[in-house]
Structure 1
Amino acid sequence: LPGVDDQPPSALDPGRPLLCIPLLTRRASQGVLTLSPPDERWDADDAVMLIELTRRASIALENARRFEHNRDIAETLQRALLTELPTTPGLTLAARYLPATRGLNIGGDWYDAFRQPDGSLITVIGDVTGHGLHAAVMMSQLRTALRAYAVDGSSPGQLLTRLHLFLHRLRLDLYATAVIARFHPDDPTLTWAAAGHPPPVLRTPDGRVHTLDAKPGAMLGIPLKQEIRDHTVPLLPGSTLALYTDGLVERRAHGIDPGIRRLAEELGGFRPTELDEDLETSADRLLHPLLHDCEHDDDVCLLLCHVHGHGRRQRAPES
């Protein structure tokens, strides 16, 4: 094979036979496997076995390339839809998204935050069942639908009910879970609703942590008529709300409840000034013990919402 640096032994011995087998796929050849026999000639049975082995290798190579292509598309789509968090007086937001550490576990995890016409801030975190490009596309549709439904000032429960009908009518055999929380600048009350999602965790200014596990709705999209209810809780200055997906707290060997308790313990261990002064660093510190030395099979989303404590000076947003 002239011009090829890695030449087979027959290049030194032109009389020695070669077995050249194309790596064929449904679309095109991916190359040629060139083999030189260990002895004077190829045995017929060996040649048949090697041709079959090469055929299977061709299929594996094509699948690997398609796997990588779909993963890259899903990652690009998912990251493009991660929201740049808005600046809101009296409230600081910090979000983290971490892809799964192994496998094609690009999924439908997402977070979002946006204002309603009355000045309220809607924060949401959700998860579409399944993985891969299909789940990522469905996630993008739900995110867009939610922003459209929120224009009329609907409450979190009403928004989740509409999303449930939207997903159910599509009949795509995909389901979703979500939590929506609403903050209003003139109302010291948090309004929230959940649909099949791990419960929000609220840290009050005294350092105590409460799991907001009031009765949630069922998963979005299942064949069930449901009206998802709103829940409220007082929101004092210095409070911090944590919204997250199950990839943060669920482990196959232990389930989800121990992970939620550990999240609550870690959040309760912060000093009030830490959350008030640097929520971004606090988000990293919160993730580290929960994911340290652990391969997570699912994506991880975390959204922290911190109400400024009394006496904090407000910085003007950068232009």
Structure 2
Amino acid sequence: QYAADHPGNLPGVDDQPASALDAGRPLLCIPLLTRRAPQGVLTLSPPDQRWDADDAVMLIELTRRASIALEHARRFEHNRDIAETLQRALLTELPTADGLSLAARYLPATRGLNIGGDWYDAIRQPDGSLITVVGDVTGHGLHAAVMMSQLRTALRAYAVDGSSPGRLLTRLHEFLHRLRLDLYATAVIARIHPDGDTLTWAAAGHPPPVLRDPDGRVHTLDDKPGAMLGIPLEQEIGDHTVALPPGSTLALYTDGLVERRAQGIDPGIQRLADALGGFGAADLDDDLESSADRLLNPLLSDSEHDDDVCLLLCHVHGRAPRQRAPQP
């Protein structure tokens, strides 16, 4: 609508009386229309007290496109909020275990609408061991977050019978493959045994775990992994076992922590290994939560990441040396 004390004769614009707010100022009012309801009105005042017909046509088209962009942005923001809320609701509090500390971090993507399907979990086993897992569903948005919740629930159900990490991943692969949703996933599962001296792990298309020895040496556990979960391929994913002496620290993570477009993933894994190796044994023993934050800070120093970040630290406490009995 054109509100002024003289007709505007603009194409597609209705002439209205002058505005009661400022009768001497002609105003062009264009609604921000969407499919559901108007989002507002764009009110413009011409610099020379009149609008040119071509200017009015251009402004109406510009406002129409702006309305569509605003509607899309609001819808995407709404879906992002739902996906992030779902993810955080499913990232439950980690269990406690004698002689073992756990610390986890989840950070949603800071660029765009890339909320994905990253998750972590820790599950007690009947024999007293602890299953730890970090996974990542391909794709982004609400669909990926919902698929993540289904995988997490399925894993908790499969873990009841005490299966090994490789067998658990194989069953998840079969579960996802049968759903045929054109979504795939990667995951790594590690099982810390009751005696605390061995670690059994298996991976499916996922970045390798990083293990810090008590003396500060760091190893990348890159033994042959399985393929991604859900791809059209029959596979049996194997287990791998390594020593886990007191004072060891295991880092499970998703690719959002280590992968950058300009550098790839291998340099990021090396940065993670270097950062983990720089900790003192006492730091990890005393405050694993603070150590998790200190580990993330240099790896995310660019402050923006294109993908979700998930990190799970598992630290086996160092054992105090046995005191000799006094001699008679």
User: Shift of the alpha carbon at 1:200?
Assistant: 0.3
1:114 corresponding residue in structure 2: 123
Q: 1:279-318 alignment to 2 at 5 Å? A: 279-311=288-320
Q: Is the aligned partner of 1:166 residue 2:175? A: yes
Equivalent residue for 1:190, pick from 178, 191, 199:
199
Equivalent residue for 1:224, pick from 219, 233, 236:
233
User: Which is further off, 49-58 or 290-299?
Assistant: 290-299
- CA distance in 2 between partners of 1:33 and 1:311 (Å): 72
Secondary structure of the structure 2 residue equivalent to 1:192: strand
Cα deviation, 1:167-211, whole Å, max 9, x if unaligned, reads 111111111110000112136211100000000011111211111
- CA distance in 2 between partners of 1:187 and 1:306 (Å): 10
Equivalent residue for 1:69, pick from 70, 78, 91:
78
- CA distance in 1 between partners of 2:302 and 2:266 (Å): 20
Q: 1:1-319 alignment to 2 at 5 Å? A: 10-11=19-20, 14=23, 17-186=26-195, 188-311=197-320
Indicate if the aligned counterparts of 2:127 and 2:194 stay in contact, CA closer than 8 A. no
User: Shift of the alpha carbon at 1:226?
Assistant: 0.6
- CA distance in 1 between partners of 2:72 and 2:284 (Å): 46
Cα deviation, 1:51-72, whole Å, max 9, x if unaligned, reads 1111111101111111211111
- CA distance in 1 between partners of 2:233 and 2:131 (Å): 26
TM-score, normalising length from structure 1? 0.91
The alignment of Structure 1 onto Structure 2 pairs a total of residues equal to: 305
Secondary structure of the structure 1 residue equivalent to 2:117: coil
Secondary structure of the structure 2 residue equivalent to 1:29: coil
Seen in structure 2, the aligned counterparts of structure 1 residues 157 and 37 have a Cα distance that, compared at 3 Å, is same
Secondary structure of the structure 1 residue equivalent to 2:39: strand
Letter in 2 for 1:168: H
Indicate if the aligned counterparts of 2:196 and 2:246 stay in contact, CA closer than 8 A. no
Indicate if the aligned counterparts of 2:32 and 2:41 stay in contact, CA closer than 8 A. yes
User: Shift of the alpha carbon at 1:40?
Assistant: 4.4
Letter in 1 for 2:305: H
TM-score, normalising length from structure 2? 0.89
Seen in structure 2, the aligned counterparts of structure 1 residues 270 and 166 have a Cα distance that, compared at 3 Å, is same
Indicate if the aligned counterparts of 1:158 and 1:228 stay in contact, CA closer than 8 A. yes
- CA distance in 1 between partners of 2:22 and 2:231 (Å): 68
- CA distance in 2 between partners of 1:98 and 1:142 (Å): 20
- CA distance in 2 between partners of 1:37 and 1:259 (Å): 55
Seen in structure 2, the aligned counterparts of structure 1 residues 17 and 143 have a Cα distance that, compared at 3 Å, is same
- CA distance in 1 between partners of 2:316 and 2:196 (Å): 12
Show structure 1 runs of 4+ deviating over 4 A.
Answer: 9-13
- CA distance in 1 between partners of 2:274 and 2:99 (Å): 25
Structure 2 portions without partners, runs of 5+? 1-17, 322-328
- CA distance in 2 between partners of 1:13 and 1:272 (Å): 73
- CA distance in 1 between partners of 2:54 and 2:226 (Å): 63
User: Shift of the alpha carbon at 1:282?
Assistant: 1.2
User: Which is further off, 205-214 or 46-55?
Assistant: 46-55
Indicate if the aligned counterparts of 1:91 and 1:307 stay in contact, CA closer than 8 A. yes
Seen in structure 2, the aligned counterparts of structure 1 residues 252 and 298 have a Cα distance that, compared at 3 Å, is same
- CA distance in 2 between partners of 1:24 and 1:12 (Å): 24
User: Shift of the alpha carbon at 1:214?
Assistant: 0.4
Indicate if the aligned counterparts of 1:189 and 1:232 stay in contact, CA closer than 8 A. yes
